[in-house]
Structure 1
Amino acid sequence: MKVGKLPTSLLKEVVFSELTNRSEEVLVRPSTGEDCAVLDFDKYVCVLSTDPITGAVEDIGKLAVHISCNDVASNGLQPIGIMLTILAPTNTTKEDIRQVMVDANKAATSIGVEIIGGHTEITDAVNRMVISTTAIGKQLKSKMILTKGAKAGDIVVMTKHAAIEGASIIAKDYYHRLKGKMNDTQINNAIAFSDQLSVVKEGVIAGEFGVNSMHDATEGGVLGALWELAEASKLGIEVDIERIPIKAETKAICEIMDINPYRLISSGVMIITVDEEKAQDLIEILEKEGVEATRIGKILKENRLIKQAGKTTNMEEPDTDELYKVIEGHK
């Protein structure tokens, strides 16, 4: 099988199909595009999301915190706590573990989340460090926002710029491959994209504003997130790819590595759908709070389309994230 998360079709066939037991307290259970489980706690709900970090070497403590907290923020709320599990190979040092915890604590502090538990283990089952986190949040049931909540006619708004996480990982982990083809300033700018990985701020703002759906862009990049949002909502989507913001540093990295920036892991980007008449107000509020926001498309009743250079093509189901092509090519 290919490296990376399972394609949607395979998830449905071999994972979701095997989940048969049901509890009445579960309001949201596994499905395409829904990265959080939601449990009924009377007038409140408990929102949980879990994710591993497998595609990065540097800053994995930081990445691990943000990736799960971003999922919870996609439901429009501030995460409360996070559980963190570290599986480290046998050549790991005490200082390696310490650095992971320093980075994780710094990231958690920056978004007001407490690391409330987890597990740390040295094991020969892995050949490099793997971190898995579970983020937990609490929300009024009446304010739940789900990926599947998009409506036909909604405007699609994207925050920040494409491939934030992927460009940062490649710039840091493959610095010597880029050096000589990009100058140090460009590479360091890309590395610094990791300071933009959290979408908690925009998730909370959009939740309070009242949007119809949200989905953070992780594996599969911006196009993958757009497809998953449409799939979750059982609707179509049209995106103008030329409106998707992308930094010059990201373009340069992707050209050197021969990968597609729109399908490169993009933690730090939130995809939001909102009623057309409210879209500009949302964009202005986000930008007033220092969050770049761009209108990139609309939700359709059917068909998933990409507009580019005056042509319209069908949007394809997400495949292996472009980051894994880089990793596989440098083993």
Structure 2
Amino acid sequence: MDEKIRLSHGDGGADTQRLIRNVFYQYFNDSSSNAMPDSFVFEARQSKLAYTTDSFVVKPLLFRGGNIGKLAICGTINDLATAGAIPLFLSAGFIIEEGFSIEKLQLIAKSMRDVCEQTRAKIVTGDTKIVERGSADGLFINTSGIGLVSEFYTARQAEQGDEIIITGGIAEHGASILLDRYDLGIETELESDCAPMCCLINDLGENLKQVKLMKDPTRGGIATALNEIALEQRLDVELDEQSIPVKSEVHAISDILGIDPLYLACEGRMLIVVEKGCGEKVLRLIEAIDNCSKAQIIGRFALGHHGMVYMKTFIGGKRIIPMLEGQMLPRIC
């Protein structure tokens, strides 16, 4: 039977992983590597560079705390940051539906420029295509980026006891999209966490030597991101439920809709794996960084079943946290 693409193939969970492995990896992947990094690191003239690309189809285009333009630039910058890279140059490609508001397009472009000015990244090339009404749901954006990898950072294999830090409250982007998309009528000041995370690379400096790997928990939330890490590292991840920072508004929205915040996207957070015994030191440094005051150590690596994620609950039990299966929330980014 000829299987068809489903919305769940875009949610970042198990269906997405199967699609990547069964189609794109089959034709694009270097057979010598099994990794799926957010950015590809390579050397050029004695410098180490990172390259990444991403496409954005978020719905709605404008949401509390951001818009598709801000999200596109932050998303690409954050993928570079996972490789320890400071952004240098970006591209921006636009697919715009006939009839789209030029005023709204200017607002989106301004937000892209503002993030670039904040991070000193530059949009240096791009492309624009216009399609007929009904063909693009307003606006889609593709961005690519090249960044300079810090001399202090090299991704390494995790080991038993290594600690896991999240740089702030989880699920705020996903919960904000839910509020705006479905007009839930809930009065709250909650906003998307959408923000550039390259500040981590500059501000941690030499302390990046204690960092073994980084990943931004976008589609599928921290649950799916940690499952990907655990499988790749062939170690279990033990989480502490009481240490995971979740705003009360996020809990309330999740409870109303029957959604686990562990699976809702973050767009301005980073999961950071730190050498055993260095977690508290690195955490103190991260807490002093803008947008990271709520950072927490949320777990550690353990020997076990070669890739399981489980949580120690506040009542003393344990529950397995699987990768996202099926459809959660499409068009989150």
- TM-score after normalising by structure 1: 0.84
* Residue aligning to 2:259: 259
* AA in 2 matched with 1:40: E
8 A Cα contact 2:50 2:148, kept in partner: yes
Equivalent in 292, 296, 299 of residue 297 of structure 1: 299
Equivalent position to 1:134, from 137, 144, 154: 144
Provide Cα deviations, 1:115-136, integer angstroms capped at 9, x if missing partner: 1111121113423311111121
Kept after mapping to 2: 8 A contact 1:164/1:268: no
List gaps (5 residues or longer) in structure 2: none
SS in 1 for 2:114: helix
How far residue 172 of structure 1 moved from its aligned partner, in angstroms, is 3.7
Gaps of 5+ in 1: 23-27
Structure 2 counterparts to residues 186-201 of structure 1, below 5 A: 186=188, 189-191=189-191, 193-194=192-193, 197-201=195-199
2:315 is aligned with 1:306: no
Deviation of 1:208 after TM superposition, in Å, equals: 3.4
- 3-state SS in 1 of match to 2:125: strand
Equivalent in the alignment of 1:223:
223
- What code does the residue aligned with 2:24 have? V
Mean Cα deviation higher: 101-110 or 232-241: 232-241
Say which of 23, 38, 41 aligns to 1:38.
41
Matched, 1:13 2:22: yes
Distance 2:141 2:332 in 1: 20
Q: Which residue of structure 1 aligns with residue 86 of structure 2?
A: 78
**Residue 90 of structure 1: how far off its partner (Å):** 1.8
CA separation in 1, counterparts of 2:98 and 2:260?
A: 35
After superposition, the C-alpha distances for 1:213-234 in whole angstroms (9 at most, x for unaligned) are: 1111110111111112222323
Separation in 2, partners of 1:214, 1:41: 23
Higher mean C-alpha deviation, range 261-270 or range 148-157: 148-157
Query: For 1:78, what is the secondary structure of its paired residue?
Result: strand
1:1-331 correspondence to structure 2 within 5 Å: 1-3=5-7, 4=10, 5=12, 6-19=15-28, 31-32=35-36, 34-56=37-59, 57-58=61-62, 59-124=67-132, 125-139=135-149, 143-146=152-155, 149-174=157-182, 177-179=183-185, 182-183=186-187, 186=188, 189-191=189-191, 193-194=192-193, 197-206=195-204, 208-209=206-207, 210=209, 211-290=211-290, 291=292, 292-303=294-305, 304=308, 305-308=310-313, 309-319=315-325, 322-324=328-330
- RMSD between aligned residues: 2.6
Q: Quick check: 1:265–1:321 contact (8 Å CA) kept in 2?
A: no
Q: Give 1:317's aligned amino acid.
A: M
* SS of the residue 1:242 aligns to: helix
Identity of aligned residues (%): 24
Shift of 1:247: 0.7
Paired position in structure 2 for 1:25: none
Q: Check whether the contact 1:74–1:203 (CA below 8 A) recurs between aligned residues.
A: no
Q: Distance in 1 between matches of 2:33 and 2:49?
A: 12
C-alpha contact 1:16 1:30 (8 A) present in aligned 2:
no
The 1-side partners of 2:297 and 2:270 are apart by: 12
Contact 2:164 2:272 in 1 (8 A): yes
The change in CA–CA distance for 1:178 and 1:208 in structure 2 (over 3 A counts) is farther
**What's the TM-score once normalised by structure 2's chain length?**
0.84
Residue 320 of structure 1 and its aligned partner are, at CA, apart by: 5.1
Distance in 1 of aligned mates of 2:82 and 2:295: 15
CA distance in 2, matches of 1:272, 1:87: 34
